[in-house]
Amino acid sequence: MGHRCCGKHKVKRGLWSPEEDDKLIKHVTTHGHGSWSSVPRHAGLERCGKSCRLRWINYLRPELKRGSFTSEEEQIIIDVHRILGNRWAQIAKHLPGRTDNEVKNFWNSCIKKKLMSQGLDPQTHNLISSHKRSAASNKTAGSNTKSQSHIDQKRPVFTVNNISQMIDSSTEINYSISQPIVSNAQPPTVQPIMAEPTDNQYLVQNPNSCWTSVTDIPTFPDSTLNISSTSSSLVFGHLDDSNCIWAAGAEPFEAAPRAMDLQGEQSKGQVVQVQQEKDKLLEMEMKAIQDMDIAASFDQSSSFDFSLVEYYSTLMSGVMPQDYSVADFTWNF
């Protein structure tokens, strides 16, 4: 079966020979790739354009970094994957010289197994639920009691640390305001993520009762942390009575009403758009709350829905004012 994109031509498949690599490198470095579909013809290759593009992007580009991943790169992949899921191309943008294919392969061959051995679901990064764990441990017949005891410990759900890297800088800003989102912010309430706080694992609640990311992680319990006037109104979680996370969400943008200051039909349209997004957020959050087992203990917190956070992150990146600097965050276990 031939490629759909080049069905008329006879194309070679399989691994690339050094001669083919040479032809492609020479062509692209001297003429640029232009339209990839025309590259095979001009470069004298019996490959389809798609194959040429892939070979160049994943293997031949001069800026590619070869060799095994460092522990720092591994941590970045884990952190970004926790936010974005299997968006390998987006994840790869955080690793200069690495390709989406490389990241994907590394994830599937190494990181996935590592997380699973730690009792973590590689898709959600949550603890694998107790019944799944017991099933898994039955399978392995108690072969790894050390890791089992590890995952039974109470652990922080996440920390807030580093968001700007998560937001695709190429996302078009479709909304612009001059005012900061949170103005005249008062010192926020700081609460531990869990009942038994360990170092630097806190969420911050601002005076509008929304949970927000901060540049500086506060010291519990006597923090006087200030949220700057440009702090985010993103919300990444609520705490129930036992300080366990039971829902994730985002504070609908406070900027929307203030944008009424803006003039012109375009601005009004943008306000409507933001309001619609706000309604959608609320609807999603309500659904998320309904779907979750609020009474779940921390050990069963695997119902924490990061896909929701992902959605909010994406959405927020599209409605950020241009002069808005978001506090950084990462999710750390």
**Residues counted in the chain:** 333
CA quadruple 294, 297, 300, 306: dihedral, nearest 10: 50
Return the closest-CA partner of residue 214 out of 248, 182, 257: 182
Nearer to DNA, 66 or 131 (CB): 66
Nearer to DNA, 123 or 134 (CB): 123
Nearer to DNA, 49 or 237 (CB): 49
Using rule CB under 7 A, residue 150 touches DNA: no
Contact, 296 vs 246, CB < 8 A?
yes
Using rule CB under 7 A, residue 141 touches DNA: no
Least Å distance between CB 103 and DNA? 8
Nearer to DNA, 112 or 258 (CB): 112
Residue 272 is encoded by which pair of tokens?
């409507």
The rounded distance, in Å, linking the Cα atoms of 143 and 107 is 24
Binding flags for DNA, 27-46, as an x/- string (CB under 7 A):
------xxxxxx--------
Return the closest-CA partner of residue 263 out of 163, 194, 189, 178: 178
Least Å distance between CB 5 and DNA? 5
Contact, 73 vs 98, CB < 8 A?
yes
Q: Taking CB under 7 A as the criterion, which residues in 68-87 touch DNA?
A: 68, 86-87
Nearer to DNA, 19 or 222 (CB): 19
Binding flags for DNA, 97-126, as an x/- string (CB under 7 A):
---xxx-xxx-xxx----------------
Using rule CB under 7 A, residue 313 touches DNA: no
Least Å distance between CB 23 and DNA? 13
Nearer to DNA, 32 or 264 (CB): 32
Contact, 243 vs 194, CB < 8 A?
yes
Residue 54 is encoded by which pair of tokens?
């892939």
Per-state percent for the chain, helix, strand, coil, to nearest 5? 45, 5, 50
Whole-angstrom CA distances from 186 to 204, 231, 250 are: 12, 11, 20
Nearer to DNA, 69 or 324 (CB): 69
45, 51, 175, 317: which one contacts DNA (CB under 7 A)? Answer: 51
Given the rule CB under 7 A, which of 3-11, 184-192, 211-219, 287-295 is the region that contacts DNA? Answer: 3-11
Which CB contacts under 8 angstroms, 24+ apart, belong to 70-75?
73/98, 74/106, 74/110, 74/111
Using rule CB under 7 A, residue 167 touches DNA: no
Contact, 245 vs 237, CB < 8 A?
yes
55, 82, 155, 278: which one contacts DNA (CB under 7 A)? Answer: 55
- Give residues in contact with DNA (CB under 7 A): 1, 3-5, 12-16, 33-38, 47, 49-51, 53-55, 58-59, 68, 86-90, 100-102, 104-106, 108-110
